[in-house]
Amino acid sequence: MRRTPLAELLQNELERQDFHPRLPGYKRVYEAIRSAIVNRRLPAGSKLPSSRDLAHELEASRNMIVAAYDQLQAEGYVSSQTGSGTYVADALPDGFNGEAAVVRQREVGGTTDPELILSKRGARLTREKGVENYEVQPFALRGKMDLLNFPIKTWQRVQNQVWRREDITLYDYDTDGGYFQLKKAVADYLRVSRGVSLVPDQVLITAGTQQSIDLISRILADQDDVAWAENPCYWGAWSSLYANDLSIRPIAVDNDGMNPSEEDLNSLPPKFIYVTPSHQYPTGAVMSLARRKKLIEYAQRVNAWILEDDYDSEFRYSGRPLASLQGLATEAGIDRVLYMGTFSKVIYPGIKLSYLVLPEPLIGAFKTALYDLYRPGQLHLQAALAEFIDQGHFTTHIRRLRQAYAQRRTLLLAVLEKTLAGKVQQIVVDAGLHFLMRLPPHIDDLALAAECQAQGLSVRALSRYYIGPTDARGLVVGFAYVDTNDLVDCGQRLGSVIKAVLG
């Protein structure tokens, strides 16, 4: 098939640029057209072909081209005229026009591409745009995050109690790995609810799980050490590991969790094994007891550290909570697990307080490194959270959240089941804040997620979470933060979009 000159230009751009292997197709098309516009290979006023024609010439899906055009228009690179077509804008967005563009070119050595002044690591990390592409957000874009279940007035009262103490030590940096009363409250909670074996001094309070992983990587690993990561994987974990120059080896996940092959087990031993055993992110798989014991024994044999991310263990809707890997390992006399959890899922996201439970030999080094690298503070906030837990508000709050989220989950699943009539496999587990909808391998889940976005729905494509190529397709659907009044409408709209794609 002979392509038009514009299609040839875009094909050359697509082949020329060093795209990250996991960058979705519509973003590649967007970047190719944007680059051609910014570098004046597509002058102002040029008419772009229709999405149907360009999809045909590039042998791509039309949804992919539509999504690329929509983003270009939203950012001001093109304009659409009803009945006429899509044209390159006369004036480019701020930062690419006139004198400003010349100054920018001088600053970065004659180019307008900011990636050329970043390290390879920095370019890759910023290109990924994790919050836009990976983080499971409230299902309904038009809805606001529902924090009505959080006892704001109680929280304010507890904070005021702390401020009225006028404790001068709360105004300084933290040098002891966190406010002691909070570490004690965390230790008591984990000992009872998660079967973690610990004393308060093993708890390190950090500013989020990603900071915990970053700290672990800096202290325990060297450049090019191997890290096993679940595949698919939580994007924040592999981003932090990659940023610290570790060599990531993706390990397949099945219905029983991480499942290393014989080739994996006989390869260069890893320094780290990153797992989410109680509710695998994003598939929802629960690691079996046999698999847990096998992983612990392997880590002991090869001197690997297991990084156990227990990110949403509070939200289990039936049955007893699962024992932590850390507790199982300690019972067996094995001290190779670093256990991580967060308050962002149960209090509110912006609180950015997490905890890291360390093997005792690591406590001193990690306290020193935490202070030297990050100068931690927020001691008033930590003290308020300790009071919130000690006064019983935390346990009551979790119980109410669990009930509310279970109701939303049940309602949404019922709506989807009715709308889809069994056409899609829903991976439903009794835990977590999201679930997975499996799709046939021929479905372009990236384009489907973009179509959902156009319909006002926020879902994520399963294939995006894989490290390397995959045939797995699906949608990751977050339900916890959606306003209950929006659930039925959103479920019906999601079902309709999926049905249309499945034909």
DSSP one-letter code for 35? H
30-39, 90-99, 197-206: the lowest-pLDDT one? 90-99
Q: Is the peptide bond before 361 cis (omega within 30 degrees of 0)?
A: no
pLDDT confidence bin for 146, thresholds 50/70/90: low
- A 10 A CB-CB count for 54 gives 25
Domains of the chain: 5-93 (1.10.10.10), 132-147+396-502 (3.90.1150.10), 152-392 (3.40.640.10)
Q: For residue 370, what pLDDT is reported? A: 93
Q: For residue 120, what pLDDT is reported? A: 67
Q: Which residues share a beta bridge with 475? A: 437, 461
Q: How far apart are CA 437 and CA 417, in angstroms?
A: 11
Main-chain dihedrals φ then ψ at residue 284, nearest 5 degrees: 85, 0
Provide the CB-side half-sphere exposure for 319 (13 A, CA). 10
Q: What is the mean pLDDT of residues 125-143?
A: 53
pLDDT digits (tens, 9 = 90+) for 12-27: 777 766 666 667 788 8
Whether the CB-CB separation of 307 and 341 falls below 8 Å is answered with: no
Beta strands across the sheet bearing 203-206: 203-206, 354-357, 337-342, 305-309, 272-275, 226-231, 247-254, 257-258
Q: For residue 298, what pLDDT is reported? A: 96
Q: For residue 110, what pLDDT is reported? A: 45
Q: For residue 141, what pLDDT is reported? A: 43
pLDDT confidence bin for 3, thresholds 50/70/90: low
Total residues belonging to the chain: 503
Sorted by sequence, the CB contacts under 8 Å of residue 492 that are 6+ apart come out as 415, 419
Exposed (0-12), middle (13-18) or buried (19+): which is 21, by Cβ within 10 Å? exposed
Percent with pLDDT over 70 in the chain: 83
CA angle 316–212–290, rounded 5-degree value: 45
Q: How far apart are CA 64 and CA 69, in angstroms?
A: 9
Exposed (0-12), middle (13-18) or buried (19+): which is 74, by Cβ within 10 Å? exposed
Pairing type for strands 247-254 and 226-231 reads: parallel
Q: For residue 116, what pLDDT is reported? A: 55
Q: What is the mean pLDDT of residues 107-123?
A: 56
Structure tokens at 93: 């967005």
Dihedral of alpha carbons 312, 238, 64, 462, sign: negative
Q: Is the pLDDT of residue 99 over 70?
A: no
108-117, 209-218, 384-393, 394-403: the lowest-pLDDT one? 108-117
pLDDT confidence bin for 144, thresholds 50/70/90: very low
Give 104-119 as a DSSP string.
HHHHTTS---GGGGS-
Q: For the chain, how far is it from start to end, CA to CA, in angstroms?
A: 28
Q: How far apart are CA 371 and CA 471, in angstroms?
A: 44
Q: For residue 111, what pLDDT is reported? A: 46
pLDDT digits (tens, 9 = 90+) for 477-498: 888 777 777 788 888 888 888 8
pLDDT digits (tens, 9 = 90+) for 190-248: 998 888 999 999 999 999 999 999 999 999 999 889 999 999 988 888 888 988 889 99
Q: For residue 104, what pLDDT is reported? A: 40
Q: Residue 241: name the closest of 250, 266, 257, 119 by CA.
A: 250
Give 183-207 as a DSSP string.
HHHHHHHHHHHT-----GGGEEEES
